[in-house]
């Protein structure tokens, strides 16, 4: 593209420059958004303890996680584990607590995880619940 007598670039060169800048900015935004907002779902290590082991009956959480906790501790090398499970939105407290193992001899390194799940009651209703699992090595 040649400049005219008045040193003007002309419409074609201005359009090309605008398009080049626009393409570069779009590429930058695409890379920034693509690397920033990718959700990386990590599978829960404690799903086997809480999923399918509990129901709500007569306003209380009924179930047993001792066997699942013990096998999880043995497989992953934990010294102790704690589980708290609570039905959300109930007026009266509906909780389940369990511990497995002993804190004697553990190094104090712990791993905790919380999450939500649905529990079914005796009438077939689905109730939201939350769990907290803490494991010590």
Pick the CATH number of 47-136 from 3.40.50, 2.40.10, 1.10.3470, 3.30.1140: 3.30.1140
Note down pLDDT in tens along the chain; length 137 residues: 565 566 566 777 788 889 999 999 998 888 877 766 544 444 466 777 887 788 888 888 888 888 888 888 888 888 888 899 998 876 567 888 988 888 777 777 788 888 888 888 888 888 888 899 888 88
Query: What are the sequence ranges of the domains in the chain?
Result: 1-40, 47-136
Distance CA 71, CA 25 (A): 53
Determine the 3-state secondary structure of 34 from DSSP. Answer: helix
What is the number of H-type helices and E-type strands within the chain? 3, 6
pTM, two decimals, is: 0.61
């Amino acid at each position: 593209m040649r400049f005219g007598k008045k040193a003007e670039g002309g419409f074609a060169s201005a359009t090309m420059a605008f398009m080049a800048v626009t393409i570069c900015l779009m590429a930058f935004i695409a890379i920034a958004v693509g690397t920033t907002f990718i959700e990386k779902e990590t599978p829960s290590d404690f799903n086997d303890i809480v999923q399918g082991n509990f129901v709500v009956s007569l306003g209380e959480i009924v179930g047993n996680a001792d066997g699942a906790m013990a096998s999880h501790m043995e497989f992953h090398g934990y010294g102790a584990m704690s589980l708290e499970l609570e039905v959300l939105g109930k007026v009266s407290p509906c909780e389940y607590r369990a511990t497995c193992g002993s804190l004697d001899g553990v190094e104090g390194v712990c791993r905790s995880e919380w999450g939500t799940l649905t529990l079914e009651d005796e009438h077939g209703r689905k109730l939201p619940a939350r769990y907290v699992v803490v494991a010590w090595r």
